[in-house]
Chains A and B, each alone.
Chain A
């Protein structure tokens, strides 16, 4: 989780990703961020996020994204 927070903070160093739960809803992440996150997650956690999982609810908070990574890692 800490490593994920680090990835996100690298993109937006002025956002507190441990508490923010409206990354999509509040317009914090843009389309370029989504692409960067998917690439980084793939590199560092060896998890490929399939297109079907690239949905707002999976990217709205660091916690939701972490849950997705754990779920994909188990499969």
Chain B
């Protein structure tokens, strides 16, 4: 019975032990190495007394990080990956929610790990990955195998795998916690819908501290495929990026739209076509039609898929295999994966008719366990199915508004609240406002998103200058949440009801010179 994701790895490692599993392009791990490292980490954690608890991982985008994730799972623990680029202050907020006893770090993040201890943001133990992984003289013993076996025998498929932190409107990130059963369901349905296999060569774009890389990690260990973890820096230089794809014979990418448009809009697609690409999945944002058409034209033989889904329903929930579109037609998000029910609920609590708008709600094994240590936020979004009053059944309300077109395809309309998608990152504008409001000399702050210019703007009232405020925000927020501009106002504009005039400020941002 398949009830633990490590079974994928355990079936694949003996079958293709010497095949490359994960690589940066210069450093990699074969399936045998991955399996061995993971079991070593797991056994060491168990001998140190860690089991069935969160383990924080502060490591770079590297195959070792994936081995560490699996290592935590071997110990019957669940992992939470932290972004090394985020300020330690925000890491502290996350650690305060998670309260792990242990944090594993790599060389590149040693300074950050130490800072967390020195500034009193973390009260647990920090350990370098090198102390836990497989090394000469640290082979797995019979005793190690026995403790690993004992833990696995007790595990069930509703035990958690990971906690992924997303932006929260109150200023504290929310941790989505997902279990083995949801990830297995996601892996099986995603692989069936897109058609991955042993010959798939992925180029992963998204950072490892999100749920998004599950799209590459899980099919890779299921089929014995290969995934390249593309260095982040390459996503600024389109020719270098295309050459990387060709050099490693990458045939599949599942990227956020902004990464794809960077290549096409800067003119690298025609002269440096990534010619081995046969499958292009995109998502997290609306693909501008002009750029999408450039990609279709450059790779006429490739299959294109739009993917859509919230972290709270384990990665992606819907897919749309590309078909020909009318010139002004918006790219739909399509239909749900097998074993996922997409309910479009109207405000009066019924399923929306074709063409009618409703809130996108998801039902099924894909629905995660909720927000870690946050029963209030969990209760708001993970709710009893309003169409079923007879027995407990939890669905997830995405807060996204959608409608079905005449073909029965789901089309994304807008967000219900102040959440935005920027560069593929999910951001609550409220979190930026909360950070600005706590900066010195700021009396009031309002954050807006200029969707056409793809810019976050911050308007504020206070005694501080824009440059000083930006600096303060950099110490509190990850780089992708820093506003493109901060503008000081003499007074905050208000609506007749006395609320901040967000609409007016958004228009002001849209008309602002770049």
Q: Dominant SS at the A interface?
A: helix
Q: How far is the CA of A51 from the CA of B471 in the complex (A)?
A: 32
Q: How far is the CA of A48 from the CA of B239 in the complex (A)?
A: 16
Given contacts A30-B236, A31-B235, contact A14 B262 (CB under 8 A): no
Partner of B237, one of A36, A39, A55: A55
Number of interface residues of B (CB under 8 A): 31
Q: Which of B227-269 contact A (CB under 8 A)?
A: 233, 235-240, 258-259, 262, 265-268
Q: How far is the CA of A29 from the CA of B484 in the complex (A)?
A: 12
Given contacts A52-B239, A56-B233, contact A14 B467 (CB under 8 A): yes
Q: Which of B255-290 contact A (CB under 8 A)?
A: 258-259, 262, 265-268, 271-272
B90 to chain A, nearest CB (A): 16
Q: How far is the CA of A10 from the CA of B239 in the complex (A)?
A: 26
Partner of B236, one of A12, A13, A34: A34
Over the window 472-514 of chain B, the binary record of Cβ atoms lying under 8 Å from chain A Cβ atoms (1 yes, 0 no) is 0010000110001110000000000000000000000000001
Q: Which of A1-60 contact B (CB under 8 A)?
A: 10-14, 24, 27, 29-32, 34-36, 38-40, 50-52, 54-56, 59
- Point out the residues of chain A lying under 8 angstroms from B237, CB to CB: 34, 54-56
Is B466 located at the chain interface by the 8 A CB criterion? yes
Q: How far is the CA of A54 from the CA of B243 in the complex (A)?
A: 13
- Point out the residues of chain A lying under 8 angstroms from B169, CB to CB: none
Q: How far is the CA of A11 from the CA of B466 in the complex (A)?
A: 12
Partner of B467, one of A13, A36, A54: A13
Partner of B262, one of A13, A29, A35: A35
The answer to whether B85 touches A14, judged by C-beta atoms less than 8 angstroms apart, is: no
The answer to whether A54 touches B471, judged by C-beta atoms less than 8 angstroms apart, is: no
Is B398 located at the chain interface by the 8 A CB criterion? no
Q: How far is the CA of A54 from the CA of B470 in the complex (A)?
A: 27
Over the window 445-486 of chain B, the binary record of Cβ atoms lying under 8 Å from chain A Cβ atoms (1 yes, 0 no) is 000000000100000000000111011001000011000111
Other than the known A14-B470, A59-B236, what 4 A-B pairs have Cβ atoms closer than 8 Å? A13-B466, A31-B258, A31-B262, A32-B423
Chain A residues engaging chain B, CB cutoff 8 angstroms: 10-14, 24, 27, 29-32, 34-36, 38-40, 50-52, 54-56, 59
Chain B residues engaging chain A, CB cutoff 8 angstroms: 85, 233, 235-240, 258-259, 262, 265-268, 271-272, 423, 454, 466-468, 470-471, 474, 479-480, 484-486, 514
